[in-house]
Amino acid sequence: MNSAMQTPNDLVSIRLKMLIDLAKSISMLKRRRHQIQSGQSGEYVSRFKGRGMEFDETRIYQPGDDIRSIDWRVTARSEKTHTKIYREERERPVFISVDYRPAMLFATRGVFKSVQAAKIAALLAWSAQENGDRIGGQIFTEHGCQEIKPKGGKHAVLQFLNALVQPDSSSEPNISLEDVLTRLIKHTRPGSLIYVISDFRGLTDSAELHLSKLGRHCEVVLIHIYDPLESQLPSQGQFRFTDTLRDIIVDSSDKKRLERYQQRFQQQQLHLQTLTKKWRMTLLQCSTNDDPLEIIR
């Protein structure tokens, strides 16, 4: 990711040039994949789906599906309407939701969680553009949301990247993750590929219910961003943390407190894993000092 070219500001802030330059990483990755696939004679198939040359899979019928593609045998056997999916359906809507709430403006190693989220979002947008998909998104702060309608082409990616650099959020105080997911349901259509990039603070029962609704008709990928300090405190010393309003002193000699701290993070990880498995979603874990390209590879 050319970390050596990063400036100190790139660790805590998001520049448009930084996000545009990530297109080169996606192009290189695509070339490497093509070389691998072309070396596997006869095994390459298009990654796009639709009414094309080759049958791909059967899934539950979704509003908007072509009734000519209904799989009557599976429908009769399961007593639920199923439709056939074929290769070559281009311009699949890809919707990328990015968390910019205050807790994301933090890191002890690597880059701010918000910067890591923006980098991953940009890589996903460039990848979608390479695949011929339509790109849209949602950027949310504590004050509101900005939604970008999915469109095709490089201009759509640049519009999304500009929103990542300068989000145009409304003046809604104390917006919750539940509010964000409610809006996400309204702005995405069935069959979309949805990425939610967040630390998932405030994932209440109601917010989980909205996530499950998304998963019924869309392919959902949750990307959990965390700082190494959130997973494990240092084993020695006293440490002061502040958000400019409150101060907290953590004494790592208190072993019970350390264990409780680590258990909370592990419980959150396990909870996310359980939810995504239950709803047939994908969960990716990304630390602030991970290479984002490796995460989405």
Q: pLDDT tens digit string along 224-239? A: 999 998 888 777 777 7
155 shares a domain with 76: no
| Model confidence band, residue 87 (pLDDT cutoffs 50, 70, 90) | low
Mean pLDDT of 195-219: 95
147 shares a domain with 161: yes
| Model confidence band, residue 195 (pLDDT cutoffs 50, 70, 90) | very high
Last residue of some domain: 86, 115, 145?
Answer: 86
The answer to pTM > 0.85 is no
97 lies in some domain: yes
Residue-number span of the structural domain to which 67 is assigned: 47-86
The predicted pLDDT at position 46 comes to 41
The predicted pLDDT at position 109 comes to 92
Least confident of 12-16, 41-45, 148-152, 250-254: 41-45
Across the chain, what does the average pLDDT equal? 85
Least confident of 56-60, 162-166, 292-296: 56-60
275 shares a domain with 183: yes
213 shares a domain with 194: yes
Paired strand residues for 285? 224
73 shares a domain with 111: no
